[in-house]
Structure 1
Amino acid sequence: MNKLLIAIIVIIILGAGWYFVSPLFLSTTVEDKFPFSVPTEEEFEQMTDEEKFELEMKMLEEAAKQPDVVMEETMPAEGVTPETEPAALASGEFKDADSFHKGSGDATIYRLPDGERLLRMENFDVTNGPDLRVLLVKNSDPMSRSDVGDDYIELGKLKGNKGNQNYEIPDDVDVDEYGSVVIYCKPFHVIFSTATLN
């Protein structure tokens, strides 16, 4: 009975140890495509027929999502075109939180042509850890749990510690109120990396 109890305790300790330590040795690379990126003419010509068809179907799906509305406004003045490309609202570069928790890459908040907002992290690389989250924080340079505060917006679990990633920003969030993007370890309340938004 004692040997069985010891074996169960050892298995639990090993499992917990693996959960907390393995992220330090494992990396996950994510390559999310940037939405609404329209290929250039050269890129379009190099596409296969199947890729062209998929692009056409995607564009039709997006067009179908747009509401049917009667225009009450006059046509825009000549030379003024409606927004058809994503617009950068704020951006910053990730930096190390300390000598152990390191991060680099770019963080940009975009307004897409359909009005949605998106956090795009590019060339992103951060020290991996357990249960990392992507937060919008009001403090522009948070260095501790108290700097993060309780009024942050959690955009989701970090998809991977490397690569290019997209996170949707809820419609009711005023992005002008937030000064940084933070990669945060939820169980231990530790900041892994921050990007001050300008």
Structure 2
Amino acid sequence: MSRVSRRIVVPALVVLVVVAGIGLYLFQPWKAFIDTTVNEALPTASAPAVQDGPGMKDNAGTGSGEPSMKDAGRMDLARGGFVTHEHGTSGTARTIRLSDGGQVLRLEDLKTSDGPDVRVYLSPRGADAVKAGLGDGAVELGKLKGNLGNQNYTVPAGTDLSGFRSAVIWCKRFSVSFGAADLDPVAG
């Protein structure tokens, strides 16, 4: 190899390695092949949810997280099904007032993609409108715990849920919605 070609090839390889490293960091492509399943029980109070606790049995007795009689003070406020935006997303979003007055967003039977910085938000915009952005006043509830399953997100105290129209699975790094669910009030 001539001296001139070595002066071109070595820096080009260094640049290629740096660009590849940045690309891997930003896109984290391995997450497209890894699923994280979360199966949290419905909470009975504002304390963190516990998986498959006492009184939380399904028809087969396996502990799906369905309520027992002691959860009578809990009330569904709104619910809706997820629609796909940038990544295939399905499942149900529910806002729930707990017996102690706390509020949670519950994602049930969620199926979506994982990503490098995926978060859960409440948005004042409808599910279709969040494709263009979350909107002013959106509230972040935390990082997505898993791309599959049932999970709970505590709504900050004092948040008026009536001002939010959708629950959103949002990639913060790339500012895109994976999917969203309109939160339609539940007749009570």
Give the TM-score, by structure 1 length.
0.69
Structure 1's 31 and 5: CA in aligned 2 closer, same or farther, altered over 3 A?
Answer: farther
What is the deviation of 1:118? Answer: 0.6
Q: Specify which of 87, 93, 96 is matched with residue 84 of structure 2.
A: 96
Aligned to 1:158: 144
Residue-by-residue CA offset, 1:88-107 (whole Å, 9 max, x unaligned): 0111111111xx51100011
Q: Give the structure with the higher percent helix.
A: 1
**Shift in CA distance, 115/4, structure 1 to aligned 2, threshold 3 Å:** farther
Corresponding position: 1:108 with 2:94:
yes
Instruction: Decide which of 152, 156, 159 is 1:170's aligned counterpart.
Output: 156
Q: Which residue of 2 aligns with 1:39?
A: 55
User: What's the counterpart of residue 118 of structure 2?
Assistant: 132
TM-fit CA distance, 1:140: 1.7
Decide whether aligned partners of structure 1 residues 102 and 168 sit closer, same or farther in structure 2, where only a CA change above 3 A counts: same
Between the aligned partners of 1:25 and 1:18, the Cα distance in structure 2 is: 14
RMSD: 2.8
- In structure 2, the residue matched to 1:121 is 107
Query: Out of 18, 24, 33, which is 1:18 matched to?
Result: 24
Match for residue 127 of structure 2?
A: 141
Q: TM-score, normalized by length of structure 2?
A: 0.72
| Alpha-carbon separation, structure 1, partners of 2:182 and 2:131 | 16
Q: How does 1:79-90 map to 2 (within 5 A)?
A: 84-90=72-78
The answer to whether structure 1 residue 179 and structure 2 residue 165 are counterparts is: yes
| Structure 2 residue identity aligned to 1:25 | F
Q: 1:15 to 1:28 in 2, by over 3 A?
A: farther
> Contact (CA 8 Å) 2:82, 2:180: kept in 1 or not?
yes
**1:84 deviation in Å?**
3.7
Cα deviation for residue 149 of structure 1 reads 1.5
Q: Is the CA contact 2:123–2:134 (under 8 Å) kept in the aligned structure 1?
A: yes
The answer on whether the counterparts of 1:145 and 1:189 sit within 8 Å (CA) in structure 2 is: no
Q: Percent identity?
A: 37
